[in-house]
Each structure stands twice: as C-alpha cells, then as structure tokens.
C-alpha cells in the first residue's frame, strides 16, 4: 500500500514475554484521519501493541510500519511526528502548566519541516484542553482530571500526524469527557490519525470510526460498531405495555415484530421501546464466543492427549 494511504500497517505481529506468547499474529491498518479504538480484555496485549508501534518495545516478529517507518528504527524526526499520551507526568509537579507546554513545544521546533504541521500555539492548546484557568498553576496543584487534560496537551503539543491515546479519559468527569471527545473529533477533522485504547465502550462507539477487538493474541473483530453488530446478528429488545401489563420480547427483526404487534393490539399499545444491542452487548458476545471457542478447542486437544 502507498505510504500516503496508510498511516499504520501491522502484519503478523508477534510478541513473546519469556515463554508466554501474548501476541500471536496481529494484523491491521489505519488510514489518515481515522480514529481506531483497540479494545480487549485486561491482559490481551493492547499496551504491548501500542508500545511496539510507539517504538518503546521491540517485537518478537512480524512487520510493522508507522508513518512509513519501522518503529524499531525510528529516529527523532519520525518521533516528532507522533504524539503519545502517557500516564501522568508526576515528576514535573513543580512546573506550571504554561511553562511546561512552552518548554515541550520547543523540542518540536527543529522538526518543523514541511512534513510536520505547525506546532500548537500554547495558549490555544491550553484552551482546547480546558486548562485556561489553570495555566499558571503548578502541576502538583491540579486535580486528577486536570492532570489528565495536561497529559493530552503534552501528547499533542507538536501537532502530531499520529496520536496514541492509552485510556485517555480515565478519571474524567462527564463534562471533561464530553470536551475531550470534542477535541478528538477536532483532531480527526484536521487529519490526525488516532489509535486509542479504552474500557469505556460507549466512548469507543462515540469516537472511533473503526473498532479492533484483541483477544487471544489476535484481532478477532475489525469494523465499525454497526458492522460488528451485524456480524453478531444480535437481537433487539422490544418492550411495551397493554392494559397496564408490561411485556418484553427479543427479536432479530424489531420492525417486523412491532408491525405485527400493532396489527394485533393497535391503540392498546403504550410505552413502546425498542433497544438495539449496544456495543457493550456486541463486545461481550464476541469475546464470550471467542473464549468458548477456545475452551472447546482446549477440551478437544485435552481429549486427544488423554485418548
């Protein structure tokens, strides 16, 4: 694939820690401006995958290209094109918000070639992450949510082409979360490609164009929330009341069922509700199906060994 069409390309990525295989063949791509959410149970290998893409961890095998470069050999110029939101910068507690961001912005200045977009103006950056009122505060005086916003500001200060966000809104209140989502949409509109991990499936659905589910060392699902729901052909739940009595029914064809219901009861129907499967339902169904498949395979293997 041409470099301009794909920002991230991962082929048969494998990672082994000691004798444990954590990634056994991960494949995916991300295109410019795409927001991709990497989901999966704890311990599935999400952080490992992201750290390999960031160039912080050496892979065991497979091909990886990040902005056209193998991260195992990425130089400073390449690194300046990436944004990484790490956990809080605890060792900078005595710095003030504006001071730190101005300082970090300077690191990007030598890399501001035509390839690199203009770094953020510090005050604008502080405003978009919602820290204007706290710009002159020392970092160790910020609340947990404010620190996380600062982490995001640090991650995007060089206006990266590709941004990695690991659990970006952990500890945010609903308002901060909403503002952060607006910021992600804005960055994506400016053609920043974003790979994020989150345990909040509602957030994944709101932010991501595509969802990847990592389980058992591979990507078991790759698609939009609607595509994944269609693939699982999950049922919708229909609730209604007739003569004060409440009914619930699960069906693949909610529209047909509701049509029939009205045919039968007409105006007697009240409080009609149709709830489609949420991404959480689909995700749980996929991971469970995968795990039960794996259990079946293990049982078969055990049966063969003990035969």
Q: Considering the complex, state which of residue 40 and residue 55 has its C-beta at the smaller distance from ligand ADP.
A: 40
Q: Considering the complex, state which of residue 67 and residue 213 has its C-beta at the smaller distance from ligand ADP.
A: 213
Does 43 interact with ligand ADP (rule: CB under 6 A)? yes
Q: Considering only residues 45-84, where is the footprint of ligand ADP by CB under 6 A?
A: 45-48
> Cβ 145 to ligand ADP, closest distance in Å?
22
Q: Considering the complex, state which of residue 32 and residue 41 has its C-beta at the smaller distance from ligand ADP.
A: 41
Q: Considering only residues 121-150, where is the footprint of ligand ADP by CB under 6 A?
A: none
With CB under 6 A as the contact rule, which of the stretches 38-46, 62-70, 240-248, 263-271 interacts with ligand ADP? 38-46
Does 196 interact with ligand ADP (rule: CB under 6 A)? no
With CB under 6 A as the contact rule, which of the stretches 36-44, 72-80, 85-93, 155-163 interacts with ligand ADP? 36-44
> Cβ 1 to ligand ADP, closest distance in Å?
26
One DSSP character per residue, the chain reads --GGG-SEEEEEEEEEETTEEEEEEEEEEE-TT-EEEEE--TTSSHHHHHHHHHTSS--SEEEEEETTB-GGG--HHHHTTEEEE-S--GGGTTSBHHHHHHHHHHHHGGG-SSSSPPPPPHHHHHHHTT-GGGTTSBGGGS-HHHHHHHHHHHHHTT--SEEEEESTTTT--HHHHHHHHHHHHHHHHTT-EEEEE-S-HHHHHHH-SEEEEEETTEEEEEE-HHHHHHHHTPPEEEEEEETTEEEEEEES-HHHHHHHHHHHHGGGEEEEEEEPPPHHHHHHHHHHHHHHHHHHHHHHHHHHHH-
Q: Considering the complex, state which of residue 42 and residue 113 has its C-beta at the smaller distance from ligand ADP.
A: 42
> Cβ 231 to ligand ADP, closest distance in Å?
22
Paired with 220 in beta bridges are: none
Residue of 10, 35, 37, 44 that binds ligand ADP (CB under 6 A) = 44
> Cβ 280 to ligand ADP, closest distance in Å?
17
Q: CA separation (Å) from 94 to 69, 122, 134, 142, 305?
A: 36, 19, 14, 11, 61
Cβ proximity of 30 and 68 under 8 Å? no
Residue of 5, 17, 178, 250 that binds ligand ADP (CB under 6 A) = 17
Number of residues forming the site for ligand ADP (CB under 6 A): 10
> Cβ 208 to ligand ADP, closest distance in Å?
17
Residue of 6, 14, 21, 22 that binds ligand ADP (CB under 6 A) = 22
Does 159 interact with ligand ADP (rule: CB under 6 A)? no
Residue of 19, 42, 114, 233 that binds ligand ADP (CB under 6 A) = 42
Residues that bind ligand ADP (CB under 6 A): 17, 22, 40, 42-48
């Amino acid at each position: 694939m041409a470099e301009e069409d794909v920002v991230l390309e991962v082929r048969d990525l494998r990672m082994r820690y000691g004798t444990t295989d954590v990634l056994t063949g991960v494949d995916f791509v991300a295109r410019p401006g795409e927001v991709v959410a990497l989901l999966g149970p704890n311990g599935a290998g999400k952080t490992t995958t992201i750290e390999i893409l960031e160039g912080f961890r050496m892979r065991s095998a497979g091909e990886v290209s990040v902005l056209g470069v193998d991260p195992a050999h990425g130089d400073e110029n390449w690194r300046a094109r990436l944004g990484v939101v790490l956990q809080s910068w605890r060792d900078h507690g005595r710095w003030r918000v504006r001071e730190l961001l101005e300082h970090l912005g300077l690191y990007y200045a030598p890399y501001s070639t035509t390839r690199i977009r203009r770094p953020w103006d510090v005050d604008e950056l502080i405003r978009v992450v919602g820290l204007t009122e706290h710009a002159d505060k020392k970092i160790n005086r910020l609340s947990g949510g404010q620190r996380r916003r600062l982490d995001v500001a640090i991650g995007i200060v060089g206006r990266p082409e590709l941004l990695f966000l690991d659990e970006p809104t952990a500890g945010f209140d609903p308002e901060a979360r909403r503002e952060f989502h607006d910021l992600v949409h804005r960055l994506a509109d400016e053609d920043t490609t974003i790979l994020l991990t989150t345990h909040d499936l509602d957030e994944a659905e709101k932010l991501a164009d595509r969802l990847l589910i990592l389980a058992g060392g591979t990507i078991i699902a790759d698609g939009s929330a609607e595509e994944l729901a269609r693939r699982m052909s999950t049922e919708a739940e229909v609730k209604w009341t007739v003569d004060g009595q409440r009914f619930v029914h699960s069906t693949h064809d909610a529209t047909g069922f509701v049509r029939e219901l009205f045919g039968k009861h007409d105006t007697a129907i009240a409080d009609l509700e149709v709830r489609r499967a949420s991404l959480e339902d689909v995700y749980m169904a996929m991971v469970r199906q995968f795990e039960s498949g794996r259990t079946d395979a293990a049982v078969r293997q055990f049966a063969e060994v003990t035969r």
